[in-house]
């Protein structure tokens, strides 16, 4: 049976428009009244041409969680209880609804595949126990882990208790097993939900520009179902995998840490695509071991039912990513999977013992032991000796007749035929014939043992002695104490400490200079030449002999001068920015207008500091007046306000945290508020009205940018 592929198109988000929809579900021409099974998407190079992809089932934007589960996942539960393994995994780019499909929400109607699967398992287990009148007992246990940066971590373990290397992976009877994984028993659905919610807190998630709650790892939930009927035990496993979505870093604006996570996610998904392509082309080598995710998933090698849920975004902004996901799913549906039932094993009952302590099991089927001469150390009776003398001739030689003998053994004088060769019947001796039948067998046994020569040669003895000597020397070397180091004088110690501090100071100073250079580069990219020149000037003392830095500052100064010359004729006939003369009596600028005008003249290198009286009056203004002044700012905003709005509208948590007075929680709160809004923030008044920001928060952001924008 091939892998069952189910496509699901997610609904539109708040910021998405209906006219941008390009993905639609359609039915086949032969069965127009049947359920949709085709996904149509236009060709990105030619809008008049459309591509069609046929799958087992296709669900449009109006499909509910209950419909997806009842039609696709619920039929696999009966196979699970018949001993088959079931694998369910969600695939798609970031922001297409994979986690919502697998995990779902808190409401009953929004529950995903995993909670509904467990609820169905518990219902069926109770039905089996009731139908068999308690003869069959069903136990359910779960394990939950994630693959983060190609390392496996147990989600039942807190992040601070994890080992950096993660858990190792081993192969056991053709199945991939995670060593050291915690397995928790779940007796009811309530126990499962509490454990599942507790483990999801430890999963790695963060906000990106495309998804406010992006999964940064692949999550694997394993549900182990054990059915016990008498001595028969049947074990089957259901695996639900929520894969992380592939990301286009040109659109996500990820930071350094997010870029590392994104590279690991994209690499594992790329290896998965390579495995699918190798299987479809029937290649001899399939690169499962190049990624831990593909090694655990083992697509095409696991013996059981496999269901793939392909999540798609309907809008044009995901056009190329959606087309790539459809091509991957089209190759996946051709993979053949063997449906092999897990064989039950039987418990071995303890063997009953008789009153005498001897097991009552018959010994007829027991394998006979090899005959040994030394095993007969019981003196035979006279009747048995007489019987042996009559039935067979007594041997005049020992068992080891080809070996040199050290002692002579007396034999009875009536024996004859010693020089005749032994026949085939004489060569085959039973265990009772291995010892010469004489009246004193103990003496014969002692002489036989003494007659055995030394089995070790001279060379083997020498090698044994050398090996023992080498082991003894190695043991002494390991147990020997290291010689104590010579003590360092206090003067030398002080000089070493001073030298270490000097090196640390030089490194910290160089790092601070590099930070200024980085900020200058960022200002240059944004087109803020004056701020970039200021950063280069701050970095110059850390690199005094750098000619390249001096040339860059000179070119930047020339560029600023050229812009001033180009701007001067345009502003020559206009009204001056500052009302320095006292002719215009109607113009009475207050403290806030004076600050905004000083900031608008951005080309001046030195700003005149406002008098202390104005600063005190600004601090004593009420919050209502300050809010009124921020809300009434027109389209001509100050550079600081524009810079703050640019950072806020970027929805980058890392950049928002750099603003003064904004921490990690407040930055995430601002990003969540922006995701709920239909439009971007136009002015600082709207920013002040955001939950958790306030007017004072906006002023702190502006004060933090005062030194940078000066």
Is 94 assigned a ligand-binding role in the annotation?
yes
Distance CA 6, CA 309 (A): 5
Half-sphere exposure of 171 (CA within 13 A, CB side): 10
Length of the chain measured in residues:
710
Q: How far apart are CA 710 and CA 702, in angstroms?
A: 12
For residue 623, which of 703, 689, 579, 576 has the smallest C-alpha distance?
689
3-state secondary structure of 560: helix
> Is 95 part of any known ligand binding site?
yes
Q: What CA–CA distance (Å, rounded) separates 545 from 580? A: 43
Question: How far apart are alpha carbons 509 and 504 in whole angstroms?
Answer: 8
567 token code pair:
């701007």
Residues 6+ positions from 397 with CB-CB distance below 8 Å: none
Residue 161 · residue 228 · CB < 8 Å = no
**What is the Cα 618 distance to its own chain's centre?**
53
Residue 434 CA to residue 427 CA, distance in Å, equals 11
Contacts 24+ apart (CB under 8 A), 539-548: 539/513, 539/514, 541/513, 542/509, 542/510, 542/512, 542/513, 542/516, 543/513
Measured between alpha carbons, how far is 597 from 579 in angstroms, rounded to an integer?
11
Spatial contact of 291 and 150, defined as CB atoms under 8 Å apart: yes
- CA-nearest of 386, 505, 391, 372 to 430 is 372
Question: For residues 117 and 90, is the Cβ–Cβ distance under 8 A?
Answer: no
Enumerate residues 6+ apart whose C-beta is below 8 A from 590. Answer: none
Q: Which two tokens stand for residue 515?
A: 């930070």
- Strands (DSSP E) contained in 149-231 are 151-154, 169-172, 175-178, 184-185, 205-206, 214-215, 218-229
633 among annotated binding-site residues: no
Q: Would the annotation count 229 as a binding residue?
A: no
Does 252 appear as a known binding residue? no
Residue 92, marked binder: yes
Strand pairing of 205-206 and 57-59?
Answer: unpaired
d(CA 104, CA 213): 13
Question: How far apart are the two ends of the chain, measured CA to CA in Å?
Answer: 69
In angstroms, the Cα distances linking 693 to 149, 199, 662, 699, 700 are 35, 32, 9, 10, 10
SS3 state of residue 527: coil
Given a contact cutoff of 8 angstroms between Cβ atoms, the answer to whether 148 and 163 are in contact is no
CA atoms within 13 A on the CB side of 485: 3
Is 97 among the annotated ligand-binding positions? yes
**Which tokens sit at 393?**
């001739």
The DSSP output letter for 630 is: H
Nearest to 114 by CA among 128, 100, 93, 125: 100
For residue 571, the SS3 value is helix
Strand-pairing partners, residue 7, are 58, 310
- 531: CB partners within 8 A, 6+ apart: 520, 523, 708, 709
Point out the annotated binding site.
92-99
> Which residue ranges are tagged as binding site for ATP?
92-99
């Amino acid at each position: 049976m091939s892998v069952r592929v189910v496509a699901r198109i997610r609904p539109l988000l708040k910021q998405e428009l209906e006219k941008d929809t390009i993905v639609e579900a359609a039915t086949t021409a032969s069965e127009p009244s049947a359920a949709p099974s085709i996904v149509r998407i236009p060709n990105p190079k030619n809008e008049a041409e459309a591509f069609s992809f046929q799958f087992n089932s296709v669900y449009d934007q109006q499909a509910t969680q209950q419909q997806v589960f009842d039609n696709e996942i619920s039929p696999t539960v009966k196979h699970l209880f018949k001993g088959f393994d079931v694998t369910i995994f969600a695939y798609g780019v970031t922001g297409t609804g994979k986690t919502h499909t697998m995990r779902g929400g808190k409401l009953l109607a929004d529950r995903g595949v995993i909670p509904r699967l467990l609820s169905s398992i518990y219902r069926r287990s109770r039905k089996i126990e009731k139908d068999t009148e308690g003869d069959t007992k069903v136990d359910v246990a779960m394990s939950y882990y994630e693959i983060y940066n190609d390392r496996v971590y147990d989600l039942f373990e807190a992040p601070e208790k994890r080992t950096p290397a993660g858990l190792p992976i081993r192969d056991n009877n053709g199945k991939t097993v995670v060593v050291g994984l915690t397995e928790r028993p779940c007796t009811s659905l309530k126990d499962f939900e509490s454990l599942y919610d507790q483990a999801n807190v430890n999963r790695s998630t963060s906000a990106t520009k495309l998804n406010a709650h992006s999964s940064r790892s692949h999550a694997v939930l394993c549900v182990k179902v054990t059915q016990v009927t008498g001595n028969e035990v049947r074990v089957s496993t259901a695996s639900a995998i929520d894969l992380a979505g592939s990301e286009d870093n040109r659109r996500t604006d990820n930071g350094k840490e997010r870029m590392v996570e994104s590279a690991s996610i994209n690499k594992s998904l790329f290896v998965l695509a390579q495995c699918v392509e190798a299987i479809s082309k029937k290649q001899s080598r399939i690169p499962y071991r190049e990624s831990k995710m593909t090694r655990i998933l083992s697509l095409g090698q696991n013996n059981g039912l496999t269901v793939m849920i392909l999540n798609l975004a309907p809008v044009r902004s995901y056009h190329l990513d959606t087309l790539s996901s459809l091509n991957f799913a089209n190759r996946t549906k051709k993979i053949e999977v063997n449906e092999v039932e897990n064989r039950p094993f039987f418990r071995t009952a303890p063997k009953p013992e008789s009153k005498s302590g001897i097991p009552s099991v018959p010994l007829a089927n027991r394998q006979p032991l090899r005959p040994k001469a030394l095993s007969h150390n019981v003196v035979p009776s006279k009747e048995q000796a007489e019987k042996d003398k009559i039935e067979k001739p007594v041997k005049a030689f020992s068992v080891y007749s080809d070996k040199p003998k050290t002692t002579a053994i007396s034999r009875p004088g009536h024996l004859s035929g010693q020089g005749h060769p032994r026949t085939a019947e004489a060569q085959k001796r039973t265990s009772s014939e291995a010892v010469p039948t004489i009246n004193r067998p103990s003496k014969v046994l002692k002489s036989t043992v003494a007659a055995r020569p030394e089995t070790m040669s001279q060379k083997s003895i020498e090698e044994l002695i050398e090996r023992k000597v080498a082991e003894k020397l190695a043991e002494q070397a390991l147990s020997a104490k290291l010689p104590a180091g010579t003590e360092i004088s206090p003067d030398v110690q002080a000089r070493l400490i001073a030298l270490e501090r000097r090196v640390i100071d030089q490194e910290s100073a160089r790092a601070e200079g590099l930070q200024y250079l980085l900020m200058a580069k960022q200002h240059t990219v944004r087109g803020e030449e004056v701020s970039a020149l200021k950063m280069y000037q701050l970095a110059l003392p850390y690199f005094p002999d750098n000619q390249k830095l001096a040339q860059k500052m000179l070119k930047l100064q020339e560029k600023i001068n050229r812009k001033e010359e180009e701007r001067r004729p345009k502003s020559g006939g206009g009204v001056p920015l500052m009302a320095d003369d006292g002719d215009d009596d109607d113009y009475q600028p207050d403290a806030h207008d004076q600050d905004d005008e000083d900031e608008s003249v951005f080309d001046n290198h030195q700003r005149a500091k406002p008098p202390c009286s104005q600063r005190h009056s600004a601090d004593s203004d009420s919050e209502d007046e300050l809010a009124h002044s921020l809300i009434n700012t027109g389209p001509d905003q100050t550079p600081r306000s524009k810079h703050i709005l640019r950072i806020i509208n970027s929805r980058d948590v890392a950049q928002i945290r750099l603003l003064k007075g904004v921490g990690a929680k407040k930055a995430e709160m601002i990003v969540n508020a922006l995701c709920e809004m239909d439009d971007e923030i136009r002015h600082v008044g709207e920013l002040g009205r955001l939950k958790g920001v306030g007017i004072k928060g906006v002023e702190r952001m502006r004060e933090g940018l005062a030194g940078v924008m000066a």
